[in-house]
Every structure is written in C-alpha cells, then in structure tokens.
Amino acid sequence: MKIVSLLPAATEIVCALGLRDSLVGRSHECDFPVDVASLPALTKARIDTSLPSETLDAEVHKIIRAGLPIYELDDARLSALAPDVVVTQEACEVCAISYDQVVASTTRTAPKATVVSLKPTYLSDIFEDVRTVAAACGVRPRGEALVSALKERVAKATRQSDEAWPRVAVIEWLSPPMLAGHWVPETIVAARGTPVGPEPGEMSPYTTWDSVKALGVDAVIVAPCGFDLPRTLEEATPHARTLNGLAPRVLLLDGNAYLNRPGPRIVDAIETIAGWLRGETVADGRGVELQSARRSVRTEA
C-alpha cells in the first residue's frame, strides 16, 4: 500500500499506526516524525509564511477575497506516486490544502486512490480520525489499540490533581489576537483547567486584548497556529507587557507541534498543560514561561 498524507496531523497518525514505510508523499508542512522530511512534498503555500503575524494574516485574507486557494498541489508528482490512499482534511482551508482541491487533483491524476478526509472539531473527533485512517489503510485493530492508549494517557493526566481548576485563555494568534476554539477548550478541560472564550467545537474568534483581560483568567497559554517555540517567542516578545498583564502566569507553547495539530501529540499537549497548571516545569522544547524566556533572551544578548 502507498499512502500520501496532505495534513501534518494525518502524517503523525499514519506513522503512529506503524505505517511509516507505506508513506510515499506528504505536504510541505509535514515535519514529524523528522524522517518524513525525506519524502517528496506535494504542496506549497502561495504566501511567505515567515512574514510577521499581522502581515501574514492580511495576506491570507487578501488571497481569500480574491477567491484563490492558499495552497497549490503538484498534480504531476501525485500522479507519479500513484497512491492507494490520500489523506486530507476539511477542517480549515487556511491551515492546509482544501478538500475540493485534493478531490479534483486526485480525480485527474490518481483516480484509483481512496481519498480520506478528516474534519476534526472536538477532541473526540481526533480519536475518531485515528480509527478512520486505520480503517482506510487496513489496520483497524492498530487504530483501536492506539486510541485506547491515547485515551488512557488523557484519563491519567486528568486524574493527577485535586486542586481548583484555574481559568485559562489560549491565544491562537497574536496580531490580531484570536482565542483558540475547536478541540482546544476540551484539551484545557482534560488538563484540569477551565477554558474561557469560545465553546468546544466553535471556530477560533478574533478578539481584543481588553476583551481577554475582562475574562479574568488565572493563566494564559500562547500557541499561535503553525508557529514553533522559537517563532512563538519572537512574535510574543513585543506583546510581553500586554500578555503579562492578562494573568499571573503565561506559557509560550509550541502550538504547531502540540496543540494546533489534531493528531496523537494532542495528548502530549494535555499532559504538558496539566503539569504546568500544577506548577511543574515544562519539558525543554515544548514550552517556556514568558518571564523565563525574556530573561534568557536578555542574558544571551
């Protein structure tokens, strides 16, 4: 079997199911496990994703208003790979290539392929997506075993504290600010926090810093969609005074790896956030307290 994954979370699911050797192509954003970088990338973005947050947000909206796709798919490469299964998504056309593009391209270039589309909205949907991918790839029992293991880790993280549940705001974008929706509120609940902002399953709304301040939170998690930890620190530093004014504790989290991506590492996010809310130090590379990060930057300078 030959599998193409056009979604980072799906690539992680495929590999977690023990199907890494069946993976023959990926999206340009698929970067975990790290060895998938050796696979051909079938997509690319129309915009420079290294642009500052505010400029990047404006460019995305400009493309959407023009009725253009944000991502492009390499038809010739897809045809050459001749996959049996193509995994894509319908959750967000900003985060990954659109379902309609994939269907149109696959119909032209790989008509025998089965297109599997994931559309996670809630935390439970992520586990169902594991089952869906496993079934499409003929390894249903592995899917059930993986889901059971992930759910047990979530249950353990939720059980580990009897303290009061702090009010937590998750910032999904910094300029302009957005509060995280979809599966993120349930992720905070699983980590024994009380999410503020959108209800579970709702889209991530734009907001203002004054509105976040008015929510009266105990902790803030900054996890901009698509940004790793160094990029998050870079983008958050100009907002440090504002962020520190929102809550006594502010965590910068590698959202791209652990929170924005609806795959197996969402459980890593739950475990990390649960530990941080209990006062534990976050593992290197996953996140860092804003105050600690700023002190480190000043020391290095």
Residue 72 shares a structural domain with residue 16: yes
Nearest to 73 by CA among 116, 105, 31: 105
Decide if 127 is inside a domain. no
Burial of 162 (0-12, 13-18, 19+ CB in 10 A): exposed
Decide if 44 is inside a domain. yes
For range 253-280, the mean pLDDT: 96
Tokens 């929510």 correspond to what residue?
215
Residue 176, preceding bond cis, omega within 30 degrees?
A: yes
Nearest to 160 by CA among 251, 278, 267: 278
Distance of CA 41 to the CA centre of its chain: 19
Residue 178 shares a structural domain with residue 254: yes
Cα separation of 124 and 114, whole Å? 24
**116, 96 contact by CB (below 8 A):** no
Decide if 245 is inside a domain. yes
pLDDT in tens, 174-200: 999 999 999 999 999 999 999 999 999
Residue 293 shares a structural domain with residue 168: yes
Cα separation of 74 and 220, whole Å? 40
Decide if 288 is inside a domain. yes
Least confident of 18-22, 96-100, 199-203, 240-244: 96-100
In this prediction, what percent of the chain has a pLDDT beyond 90?
79
Residue 202 shares a structural domain with residue 289: yes
pTM score above 0.85: yes
CB atoms within 10 A of CB 142: 18
Give the structural domain span for 71: 3-119
Out of 95, 119, 143, a domain closes at: 119
pLDDT band at 296 (very low <50, low <70, confident <90, very high): very low
Residue 70 shares a structural domain with residue 198: no
Residue 184 shares a structural domain with residue 257: yes
Is 235's pLDDT higher than 80? yes
Residue 115 shares a structural domain with residue 213: no
What is the domain count for the chain? 2
Decide if 151 is inside a domain. no
CATH of the domain at 24: 3.40.50.1980
Out of 119, 145, 176, a domain closes at: 119
Decide if 110 is inside a domain. yes
Give, in order, the Cα–Cα distances in Å from 15 to each of 3, 32, 74, 94.
11, 9, 23, 24
Give the chain's mean pLDDT: 92
Q: Tell me, what's the pLDDT at 297?
A: 42
Decide if 148 is inside a domain. no
pLDDT in tens, 6-23: 999 999 999 999 999 999
- Secondary structure (DSSP) of 62-129: HHHHTT--SEEE-HHHHHHH--SEEEEESS-TTTS--HHHHHHHHHHH-TTSEEEEE---SHHHHHHH
Residue 219 shares a structural domain with residue 283: yes
Decide if 157 is inside a domain. no
